Amino acid sequence: MRTRALLLFALVFLGGSTASAQFGFLKDAVDAVKDNPLKSNNSTTNDTLKAAGQFGKGIAGIGPEEEKKIGDSVALEIVGKYGGLVRDAAVLHRVNLVGRALARYSDRPELNWRFGVLNSDSVNAFSAPDGWVFITRGLYTLAKDDDTLAGILGHEIAHITGRHALKIVENSNKLSGGLGIWASTNQKVGNVQAQLKQFDISIDKITSTLFESGYAPGKEYEADKDGRNLASVTGYAPGGLRSVLVQLQRRGGDNKKVFSTHPPLAERIKRLPDEPAPRPQSTG
C-alpha cells in the first residue's frame, strides 16, 4: 500500500518534470509493479506491465512517430470540417514563406511545417501536431500585411511547439494507464480493434477541443504571448496579432464565426502589449 501511495504521489508531482527524470521514474514504476505481491500469474503480470507501459508513455510523452500519426489524422478532420483547402498557389506560397520563416526560429525548427488555407468564411485558425497549420479564408482576407499574418501563424505555431494538442492525449493516457495499473488485473489490451478504437478516441479528444470547447484560456494566452514573441524575433511587427484582434472587435458581428473556440477578444487584447498596428503593405 505504501509503495502505491508513493507511486501515486510521484505521478502527480513529476508529471511535468524533465524527460530524464521521467524515464527514471518509469523504470521504478515497472520494477514496483513487478514486485507487486498481488499478482498471481505471469499473464496478469504481463498485462499489468502493458498498462505500466501505457502509463509510462503518458509520462514520457508522445514520440515523433506517434505525433505524425496523430497530427495527420487531426489535420484530416480540420480540412474535412472546414470546407477543404483553397487551391490558390500564390496564396499558399505566401502563407508558407511567412509560416516557414517563423517556424525556423520556433522551438521546433526541424519539424515538417506545412501551412494551408481552409475554404471557409469563418474567422479562425487551427493547428495539428507534427507541424500542420491552417488559417480560414475568412481570417486570411483580414491579414492584408505579412506582420498580421505572422501574428496569426505565430499563435498556431506556439500551440504546436507547446504540444498543447498532444498533452490532451498524454494526460488522458496517464489517467487510463493509471486506472490500468490500479484496477486492471487481466484485460486483453493488445488486439487491433482495441488499438484502433483507442487511436480514434485520442483523435476525438483533440478535435472536440479544437472544434467545440477550445483549449483552456491559459493555453490560448500562452500561445498569444509566444506567437507574438516569435513574430518579433523573426523581425515582424510584434503588434500584428493584436491588430487583427482589435480589427475583429471593432467589426463586431457574428461571434460564433469569429475565433469561436478562443477566449473573448477583449481579454486577449488586454493581455497583449499595446503596440502600434503594422503598416499596410503590398502582398504577393
Partner 1 sequence: MKPRPAFRLWPAALLLATVVVAEAALTPGGTAYTKRYKTTLLAEPSPMASPTGELAFGRQLKIVEMKGNWLRVSDGPTGGWVFAGSLTDSKPAETKGADGNVLLASATTATAANRPLSEEANAYAARRNLGSARVDLDWLQAQCKGVTAADVDAFLKAQKKGEYQ
User: Cβ closer to partner 1: 103 or 258?
Assistant: 103
Rounded Cα–Cα distance for residues 24 and 2 (Å): 20
- Cβ 251 to partner 1, closest distance in Å? 29
Cα R_g (the chain), whole angstroms: 22
- Is the CB of 90 or the CB of 183 nearer to partner 1? 90
Give the list of residues 6+ apart from residue 153 with CB closer than 8 angstroms, or none. Answer: 95, 98, 99, 102, 115, 125, 133, 135, 227
Please, what is the minimum distance in Å from the beta carbon of residue 258 to partner 1? 24
Closest approach of Cβ 133 to partner 1, in Å? 11
Tell me the CB-side half-sphere exposure of residue 265, using CA atoms within 13 A: 22
Q: How far is the CB of 252 from partner 1 (least distance, A)?
A: 32
Q: Which is nearer to partner 1, 12 or 266 (by Cβ)?
A: 12
- In the chain, which ranges are continuous DSSP H helix? 2-14, 19-34, 42-60, 64-81, 89-104, 137-140, 146-161, 164-183, 192-208, 217-234, 240-251, 265-271
Question: Which residue, 163 or 269, has its beta carbon nearer to partner 1?
Answer: 163
Nearer to partner 1, 109 or 190 (CB): 109
Residues engaged in binding partner 1 (CB under 8 A):
13, 18-20, 23, 57, 60-66, 68-69, 72-73, 75-77, 79-80, 84-85, 87, 89, 92-93, 96-97, 100-101, 104-105, 107-112, 114-116, 130, 146, 196, 199-200, 203, 233-236
Nearest residue to 135 via CA among 222, 276, 241: 241
Listed in sequence order, the residues at least 6 apart from 159 whose beta carbon sits closer than 8 Å to its beta carbon are 127, 165, 215, 219, 223
DSSP H or E run through 128: strand 125-128
Nearer to partner 1, 32 or 60 (CB): 60
Task: Between 232 and 243, name the residue whose CB sits nearer to partner 1.
Answer: 232
Q: How far is the CB of 255 from partner 1 (least distance, A)?
A: 27
Which of 163, 257 has the CB closer to partner 1?
163
Q: First-to-last CA distance in the chain?
A: 66
Instruction: Please work out, in degrees rounded to the nearest 5, the angle formed at the alpha carbon of residue 72 by the alpha carbons of 217 and 152.
Output: 40
The distance of closest approach from Cβ of residue 166 to partner 1 in the complex, given in angstroms and rounded to an integer, is 11
Q: How far is the CB of 265 from partner 1 (least distance, A)?
A: 26
SS3 of residue 127 by DSSP: strand
Pairing of strands 125-128, 132-136: antiparallel
Left (φ > 0), alpha (ψ -120 to 50) or beta: where does 235 sit? left
In the complex, minimum distance from the CB of residue 52 to partner 1, in angstroms, rounded to a whole number: 13
